[in-house]
């Protein structure tokens, strides 16, 4: 899990790697995992070209988790990532 809460499955969806998505799911990846911004792997399929990934995740994702989180939280993943990067920086103290 990264600083923004993304799992390997989230990253495989980002990369549009259908084979990797299938492999991770077959090995028990949690399709209901959330990023810190409230996004499931299925949410990351919106606007992407690989409809095969979207179909697989749609079928596996619980209906109440298919809706996108509120627009207020759309940038939350980036906010957490930026905070993580700044926390990992060298201290000049």
- Which string of DSSP letters, residue by residue, matches 1-25? --TT---HHHHHHHTT-HHHHHHHH
**Sign of torsion over alpha carbons 25, 83, 38, 71:** negative
Render pLDDT for 17-67 as a digit per residue (tens, 0 to 9): 999 999 999 999 999 999 998 999 999 998 888 899 999 999 999 888 888
Whether the pLDDT of residue 78 is over 80: the answer is no
What interhelical angle do 51-60 and 18-26 show, nearest 10? 20
What kind and span of H or E run contains 77?
helix 76-88
What kind and span of H or E run contains 14?
helix 8-14
Domains of the chain: 8-87 (1.25.40.20)
Whether the pLDDT of residue 12 is over 70: the answer is yes
pLDDT number for residue 44: 92
CB contact at 8 A, 52 and 44: no
């Amino acid at each position: 899990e990264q600083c923004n809460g993304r799992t390997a499955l989230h990253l495989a969806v980002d990369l549009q790697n259908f084979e990797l998505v299938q492999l991770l799911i077959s090995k028990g990846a949690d399709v209901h995992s959330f990023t810190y911004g409230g996004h499931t792997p299925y949410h990351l399929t919106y606007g992407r070209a690989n409809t095969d990934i979207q179909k697989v995740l749609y079928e596996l994702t619980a209906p109440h988790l298919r809706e996108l989180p509120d627009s207020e939280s759309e940038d939350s993943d980036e906010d957490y990532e930026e905070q993580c990067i700044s926390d990992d920086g060298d201290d000049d103290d």
